[in-house]
Structure 1
């Protein structure tokens, strides 16, 4: 199998459509499907069905990683680590989640807005000093979320160049060599363990220090689970925002330039637009969040047998014509009709949702305000995709103003 560097060396200009153009197929009742290795599974695609699968305690995560469970990934990665918070259930999951929940409440995230806004302006100042055309991914969509997560986690500047290397392997799409992934994740886990140890002895004003204090007060949380929690925050906290910024800039500049001036002049409208784009533009090509049926469960009038793997496809559910308009991109400034499933639902709802919304809203609003004439400097169909990861966005995006 190829490594990420080999995969990224291929142009792949037209092999994949932009994320906003993906054909999700027809939404319908739960139906049989298959996992990548051929194992039978069930696909839930309607909005109420997906919400039920993600919220019903009879559908669990941890059994998916039992010794005899079918493989959900082509190669081991961070997402398939059974010690990751997302892969815990019941009390084990609640203990981990409770130490993190307070840090990501809407009120807590709102307190971060001033310094996040300052980082946005710092990135835009650096962009303005460049002579166009400029790669807006390398100069804006990547450095902004890296700066934000580094500030939150109290990471040294020297670590920043390694974040992408760790993220590409943590979220590998299977194109990396298994030993390479294993070696990188071992190195990454060692970093996470060392970071936790340092914060225990020298706590600071950062998220890791808060987690260590809360975990030690809670008690009973295995250290390996804390390490995976920290590692997941480090890579997940910047990869998703980078991907979302890149994909939405490609869409807005390539297909919807008429909304650019309103985006830059009206922050309230920018907030609505950011929510709608989070809802409509998925992060990757993977389909469905997997669950294990602990017993026979009826979903949408269909009986799912105990022991089945169920894929809850949030992207399909976000296109359910019974819930959302059949032409979802018509009015980007229209509030969502129902809460989006872009961040999941139920006990595993993404705790970083408010931070992601804030970064995307500020990131899009301020770049449109500072660069009202920003435009693509290459055809949208000529984009080269960043490969090797379960998230997908442009490798680069040349813009001028």
Structure 2
């Protein structure tokens, strides 16, 4: 079941993200953003990777004084001072600082935390009985539980966090004024958290980040606060979205693979990588890919793109480039060419390791505990979270 890269036929139900037909791979071609701004769209795997790694294509220039409008309503990704939108030496300095908080020792130590959070939620799901809503019982609370434990956010108001995150990644769901108010509240929360953790440091991610920033010259309190805020959002939103969409895909189109995912962690690891490659985070209704801007004339895929042009790296299309990945999908085949779900180059997602860990452990433990898990309704009946940069099920009824 496929459709064009859009949400759904007019008036019809939304299409599950794994059913969307991606753009045909080819040389970069011109399209138009919702604002009317022209954009060059790269779709082939090699071209998308080149856009994301080219030294003359960056993020910072998207917010220069002469830059054309990119979005109708700005959200958290449009903050020029955020790590995502810095480039060059300033970006490298701040990114290295953040990476100091993500040491191999910390990663190894956090794996049991993630596993215990998974098992606690599965205990609750099993106790509640079949059928159940897997979103409210598992895919939504798991990433929140993990980031809360890693950042020591005991007592965090989960509804408030969801409210802030939805506004932070809003595309059309909220007005500019509503987003601004929510981000003011979210920023206050992050700043107060930084202040509290300075007074009472501990063995947590926020304390580690504060220490790393304090040992690096030039990191401002605003940048530190913004980093904490970004980690809270990125630490749960995209993982929640991917986990929910992966379950829609696996239980709808690959039920025969479910038991094997629960049989061993290696199978779960391969299935996670294939799901990340196969399922986009959203339906490209707001932008045709990860946006960049050329600061000089550049040649991508045999096409000369003029300086000042906006370029979209369509990772969803690149992840299904038939010139790189064979037709069909073998969930348990190792990827010979890494996918681009987490980007590439200087802005490769810092939290990729954490997201992978949660997805692998979550899918493996869920399939091991409930080998007969199945959807109770058709995918056409799913209610979706819409109006955001991501799309995932609001509810997903399952039985076992």
TM-score category by the smaller chain?
Answer: over 0.9
Tell me: CA distance 1:13–1:230, structure 2 relative to 1, closer, same or farther (3 Å).
Answer: farther
- 2:236 aligns to what SS in structure 1? helix
Residue in structure 2 matched with residue 118 of structure 1 by the alignment: 116
| Deviation (angstroms), 1:174 | 2.1
Q: Which residue of 2 aligns with 1:312?
A: 313
Could you tell me which residue of structure 2 aligns to residue 138 of structure 1? 136
Aligned residue runs from structure 1 range 48-197, under 5 A: 48-104=46-102, 108-197=106-195
Q: 1:104 to 1:20 in 2, by over 3 A?
A: farther
1:382-401 correspondence to structure 2 within 5 Å: 382-401=381-400
Give the secondary structure class of the aligned counterpart of 1:158. Answer: coil
Shift of 1:55: 0.6
C-alpha distance in structure 1 between counterparts of 2:104 and 2:298, whole Å: 34
Residue 74 of structure 1, CA deviation: 2.0
Match of 1:280 in 2: 278
Matching residue of 1:368: 367
Deviations 1:279-325 (A, max 9, x none): 11111123211111011111111111111111111111111111111
Corresponding residue for 2:353?
354
> Does 2:44 correspond to 1:43?
no
Q: CA deviation at 1:388?
A: 2.6
Q: Shift of the alpha carbon at 1:394? A: 0.7
- CA–CA separation in structure 2 for the residues paired with 1:100 and 1:132: 42
Q: Contact conserved, 2:13 with 2:380, CA < 8 A, in 1?
A: no
Pick closer, same or farther for the CA change 1:44–1:107 going to 2, 3 Å: farther
Whether the 8 Å CA contact 1:13–1:381 is kept in 2: the answer is no
Partner-residue secondary structure (3-state), 2:218: coil
Tell me the TM-score normalized by structure 1.
0.94
The aligned counterpart of 2:196 is: 198
Shift of 1:160: 2.6
- Asked if 2 retains the 8 angstrom alpha-carbon contact of 1:105 and 1:354, the reply is no
Pick which of 110-119 and 152-161 moved more: 152-161
1:294 maps to: 295
> Residue deviations 1:88-122, cap 9 Å, x none?
11111112111111333566423311111011000
Classify the secondary structure of the residue corresponding to 1:129: helix
Residue number in structure 1 paired with 2:234:
236
Distance in 1 between residues matched to 2:50 and 2:267, nearest whole Å = 31
> Please, which runs of 5 or more residues in structure 1 have no aligned partner?
1-11
Q: How many angstroms apart in 1 are the aligned matches of 2:104 and 2:293?
A: 31
Aligned match of 2:253:
255
Distance 1:224 1:70 in 2: 26
**Matching of residues 314-333 of structure 1 within 5 Å:** 314-327=315-328, 329=329, 331-333=330-332
Q: Whole-Å Cα distance in 2 between the matches of residues 73 and 203 of structure 1?
A: 39
Misfit runs of 4+, over 6 Å: none
Please say if residues 106 and 354 of structure 1, whose CA atoms lie closer than 8 Å, have aligned partners that are also in contact. Answer: no
Cα distance between partner residues in 2 of 1:147 and 1:67 = 41
- For the 8 Å contact 1:253–1:375, the answer to whether it is kept is yes
Shift of 1:149: 0.5
Note the aligned Cα RMSD (angstroms). Answer: 1.5
Instruction: Tell me how far apart the structure 2 counterparts of residues 182 and 68 of structure 1 sit (CA, whole Å).
Output: 24
SS in 1 for 2:179: helix
Deviations 1:247-291 (A, max 9, x none): 111111122110111111121111111111011111112321111
> Is this contact kept in 1: 2:294–2:308, CA < 8 A?
yes
Report what 2:7 is aligned to: none
Counterpart contact for 1:104–1:354, Cα < 8 Å:
no
Is there any run of 5+ residues in structure 2 with no aligned partner, and where? 1-9
Instruction: Tell me how far apart the structure 2 counterparts of residues 19 and 105 of structure 1 sit (CA, whole Å).
Output: 34
1:16 maps to 2:14: yes
CA contact (8 A) 2:100 2:212 kept: no
Size of the alignment, in residue pairs?
388
